Amino acid sequence: MASINDLATAAIASSSAATSANDGAAAAATRGAFVVLEGLDRSGKTTQVKLLEQRFVEEGRPVKVMRFPVPTAGKLWLKSSRS
C-alpha cells in the first residue's frame, strides 16, 4: 500500500513530466492528477485527503476535493492541475 507521500510525489512527478515532454504545447493544455481514495467508514480517508491537499497547496498547485456521491459513501476524490 502506497503512503500519502508516495501518492503526492507520483502525482507531482507525472504532471511535471507531461509538461516538460510537450514543451510549448504544455501551456495550451494542462494535465493534472486525479486521485481516488476508497475505504470503510472511519478508516481515515478524510485525514489522508486533507494531508494530500495540504501537500499540493504547499507545492503551489490548485486543488479541488470532491465527494461522491455523498460524504459517507466511502470515496473521496482529489483533483489537482498544474497552474
Q: Cell numbers of 51, please?
A: 494531508
Coil, strand or helix at 62: coil
Signed CA dihedral, 53, 58, 81, 1: sign only: negative
Contact 76, 49 (CB under 8 A): yes
User: What one-character DSSP code corresponds to residue 81?
Assistant: -
Span 50-56, average pLDDT? 91
70 or 9, which is more confident: 9
Strand pairing report for 63-67 and 75-80: antiparallel
**pTM score of the predicted model:** 0.55
| Chain segment 16-49, per-residue pLDDT in tens | 665 555 555 555 567 788 888 888 888 998 899 9
Q: If DSSP codes are grouped into helix, strand and coil, which group holds residue 36? A: strand
pLDDT single digits (tens) 57-82: 998 988 888 887 665 555 666 666 66
